[in-house]
Structure 1
Amino acid sequence: MPDALSKTIPIWCVVINRLLFGEVPDDYKLSTPKEVVGASENSQIEALLDGFVNNVKDLGLDLCSLRSVLKKPIRPSWVTPDSVSTDGFIPSTDYHTIICCTVSRRVFGAEMTEDGYIQGAGDDSEGWSHGLTPTLFWRHRDQLLTAVEEDMPDIVLELITTDPDHGVARSEVVTLAPTSFSIGSLSSAKHAELSYDGIVICGGTAPSKTDHKTKDDKPTRILNLLCSDGKLGSRALRSQLPRVPPFITSLANYGSPPKILFLCSTGKDLSIGVALAMLCLLFDDDYGFNSQESSASIDKALVRRRLAFITTAKPDANPSRSTLQSVHSFLMPRLD
């Protein structure tokens, strides 16, 4: 069973429960699959939980708002090829069940393989999905779930070649309220109303025009950072980030604070990194805009708080390690 299912998710369940539902002592307890996580390792993880809770507290999240959405504690439950009962999945009025499903058969003993079977291979979707994505599965689940197994490869091939949205980033433009910053993908921006004072192309192919008219007939300025997708683009971001603050502050005459849209191919990586850097540099702790770059000390704790702010508004934000390293290098050159 992957560590993500046996350890990471159970840890997050306890941390979230302690933060949001601290008055329920039973929800303090760590629950892990006993056949995977031994008693000793379980105790070692429990000893770290207080530190994890404090780390999340330091992010400054709106816990009251989160509790109003979640409403009740969460508990993990596991499904494996060896499962014989689904009693743990009966809906409860006391908690939400997080179902951790693994299709890999467990191999006992020290060896990771048995008769040619590679433990964990079943959870590596690239090995068997034939290009099927979660989005395509849920969109066509009725057809897929009723299909004969022998026909599945041909059906999947047809879906990935005919579905008009396959491979297209469907990230919507999201505004990081209460700031004037928004984040989106290049494809989603084509359908968005261009009511922005400035657009920063953080990665991918930029539009052919350098100016657009907003609904108020004011030109929308575009800054193209000329970063490619992937790790190379994330590394190139390090040298391109210094161009962004003067571009944004130059737009103060259009609106204070100026409305800025950050774009990249997916709306989840480079655009997140650039917006993150600007939130650290141009906004105070109350997210008030300051056209003068902040002279206050910027540290990794501040970066984590700003990133948590972004992911609260945009849960699918997923900046790569290389992107975050570039942000750290730009904001804290002496600490990187």
Structure 2
Amino acid sequence: MNYAADPAISDASLFGAVSKSLAKDSRSVHNRLHSIAHDSEFVTGVSEAFGLPLVANERCGRWYVSPERIADSVYFKSTDGHTGQWGFSLRRLNLHIIDLAVGSGGIVIVDSTRRGKRMPDALSKTVPIWCAVVNNAVFGAGSLHTSPAAVSASEHAQIEAQIGTWTQQLLSCGIDMATIREKLDKPLRPIWVTPDPALILPPEPPTFDDCYAIVLCTASRMVQDGTERRHGYTYVQGAADDHEAWASVITPNIFWANKELFLKASAHELEELIRDGRLQSQPTVDSLEILTNTGWLDISAIADTGIYIGKKQSVIHHYNDITDFDKIIDLSTSPTALPERDESNNNKEVLQLPIPAGKRGSKQLRLELPRIMAFFESTCLSSSKIRLVILCDTGSDFSVGAALSILSLYYNDDGEIKERVHKRVDKETVRRRLAFIVMQRKVNPSRATLLAVNSVLMGWNN
């Protein structure tokens, strides 16, 4: 648009339009990828200086760490640390990370944030809350530690006043605290690291005799207006944040597989690369691959319940390829041929209910849960040994919702199956069963999926 040729546009409007256009250009894919590459060098330096493994905070943190360097990932949301909305999430317990922290002496959690903040709320408040709650649950005492550079004394006091309540919620949710107490012999202690020019990283990895160090690494440097001109590109603070809005087909794995190609390309050449779609990709490294007899699945057992949840690692063209299981609930959208009845597979029972992603999928799950319950009752309750696998596209959302419903309705607190244990299911039962699942697999079911499960189970009267 030729702004100057339109007399109806005021000087103020023209200035605003031009400023908005320049701001958008400064945050182009070209500038973002160069910024991410720059910040990743700082992240690597922090890991080496402390001698601790790197853990990506989903989803932003994964962009700043090459796949081969990611030891694990966590889900700590900034919304749980927003001022006045602090919380301890029982559906994002992240307790799986304790094993790595204990085994390595600590961990480095990586995240970033856009302009206006020195560090994301996930690192300044959500993780410190988590550390304090876990310490209190394990040791019966423990202080809240926050960074004075990010949290005021008043806000610190308000958060600290709620640690006891959140600790009781954790203790009452059904988690096996005895096992955690056996592992965690020292408290967790948050330590903050940001790319401040005055920062001096330790020349040798320090030792922490009295705690396990949870180093909270903010990848990007705080700059005025969120951007800063560098040699050959414009630096974007928190460039990886909100990647759905800018990354197009690029994912963290694709970025790292094509990093040198991306960084050598001009802005125009980069756009052509994205349009052509000829990019290398890498498999994710954070999944637990379990090889069945003839096919790959990314699945986890829910303790000794006989139920497994997860996803198909690659397209499985026939359910007969999944030979380790005779009961299959497939909620994924990838097509798979249903088994034909014959002497070799007459015991294989499959319920195929393709569910699309997002809130639309959660609404469909709500409609399909009665069919899932009926399938479980007809095929599993009469079995002497249950071998049921529940699959969905992500392995952490709809399959969790289906398993959660089954565990809430048919299993007791010890994970033992009983015929219709609960004629009515309350929210406390659902919370305890979700905690049971979270202890077995790193999952992140959406709020919409959990609402769908609660809606169906609260009305289950028979």
TM-score by length of 1: 0.80
Instruction: Return closer, same or farther for 1:312/1:253 CA change in 2, 3 Å cut-off.
Output: closer
Contact 2:223 2:237 in 1 (8 A): no
How far does residue 332 in structure 1 lie from its aligned partner after superposition? 1.1
Distance 1:168 1:9 in 2: 21
Contact 1:6 1:32 in 2 (8 A): yes
Contact 2:254 2:279 in 1 (8 A): no
How far does residue 325 in structure 1 lie from its aligned partner after superposition? 1.0
Distance 1:32 1:8 in 2: 10
Task: State the partner residue of 1:20.
Answer: 138
Distance 2:120 2:207 in 1: 25
Task: State the partner residue of 1:301.
Answer: 428
Task: State the partner residue of 2:310.
Answer: 184
How far does residue 222 in structure 1 lie from its aligned partner after superposition? 0.7
Which segment drifts farther, 160-169 or 233-242?
160-169
Distance 1:105 1:164 in 2: 28
Q: Which amino acid aligns with 1:98?
A: I
How far does residue 165 in structure 1 lie from its aligned partner after superposition? 2.6
How far does residue 121 in structure 1 lie from its aligned partner after superposition? 3.6
Task: State the partner residue of 1:93.
Answer: 209
Task: State the partner residue of 2:403.
Answer: 275
Task: State the partner residue of 1:203.
Answer: 332
How far does residue 312 in structure 1 lie from its aligned partner after superposition? 0.5
How far does residue 81 in structure 1 lie from its aligned partner after superposition? 2.2
Distance 2:355 2:322 in 1: 24
SS in 2 for 1:178: coil
How far does residue 13 in structure 1 lie from its aligned partner after superposition? 0.6
SS in 1 for 2:333: coil
Task: State the partner residue of 1:43.
Answer: 157
SS in 2 for 1:204: coil
How far does residue 333 in structure 1 lie from its aligned partner after superposition? 3.5
How far does residue 166 in structure 1 lie from its aligned partner after superposition? 6.4
SS in 2 for 1:81: coil
Task: State the partner residue of 2:441.
Answer: 314
TM-score by length of 2: 0.60
How far does residue 131 in structure 1 lie from its aligned partner after superposition? 6.1
Instruction: Return closer, same or farther for 1:73/1:293 CA change in 2, 3 Å cut-off.
Output: closer
How far does residue 21 in structure 1 lie from its aligned partner after superposition? 2.9
Which whole-Å deviations, capped at 9, do the CAs of 1:30-54 have from their partners, x for residues lacking one? 1111011000100000000000100
Question: Which of the pair has the greater relative contact order for Cα pairs under 8 Å at 6+ separation?
Answer: 2
How far does residue 152 in structure 1 lie from its aligned partner after superposition? 7.9
Task: State the partner residue of 1:9.
Answer: 127
How far does residue 293 in structure 1 lie from its aligned partner after superposition? 5.9
Which segment drifts farther, 258-267 or 66-75?
66-75
How far does residue 106 in structure 1 lie from its aligned partner after superposition? 3.7
Mapping of residues 1-336 of structure 1, within 5 Å: 1-22=119-140, 28-82=142-196, 84-87=199-202, 90-106=206-222, 121-122=238-239, 124=241, 126=243, 133=251, 150-151=263-264, 161-163=279-281, 165=283, 172-187=298-313, 190=316, 193-211=322-340, 217-252=345-380, 255-292=383-420, 294-295=422-423, 297-315=424-442, 317-333=443-459
Distance 2:147 2:286 in 1: 37
How far does residue 328 in structure 1 lie from its aligned partner after superposition? 0.8
Distance 1:106 1:168 in 2: 30
Q: Which amino acid aligns with 1:320?
A: S
Cα-Cα RMSD: 3.8
How far does residue 120 in structure 1 lie from its aligned partner after superposition? 5.9
Q: Which amino acid aligns with 1:245?
A: M
SS in 2 for 1:249: helix
Contact 1:211 1:220 in 2 (8 A): no
Instruction: Return closer, same or farther for 1:254/1:212 CA change in 2, 3 Å cut-off.
Output: farther
Q: Which amino acid aligns with 2:200?
A: S
Which whole-Å deviations, capped at 9, do the CAs of 1:254-305 have from their partners, x for residues lacking one? 723532110001111100111001100111222221233622x421111111
Look at both structures and tell me which one has the larger radius of gyration over its CA atoms. 2
Distance 2:323 2:174 in 1: 32
Q: Which amino acid aligns with 1:305?
A: R
Which segment drifts farther, 253-262 or 243-252?
253-262
How far does residue 168 in structure 1 lie from its aligned partner after superposition? 12
Contact 1:234 1:322 in 2 (8 A): yes
How far does residue 93 in structure 1 lie from its aligned partner after superposition? 3.2
Distance 1:218 1:254 in 2: 16
SS in 2 for 1:285: coil
Which segment drifts farther, 204-213 or 272-281?
204-213
Percent of aligned positions that are identical: 33
Distance 1:168 1:14 in 2: 26
Contact 2:253 2:283 in 1 (8 A): no
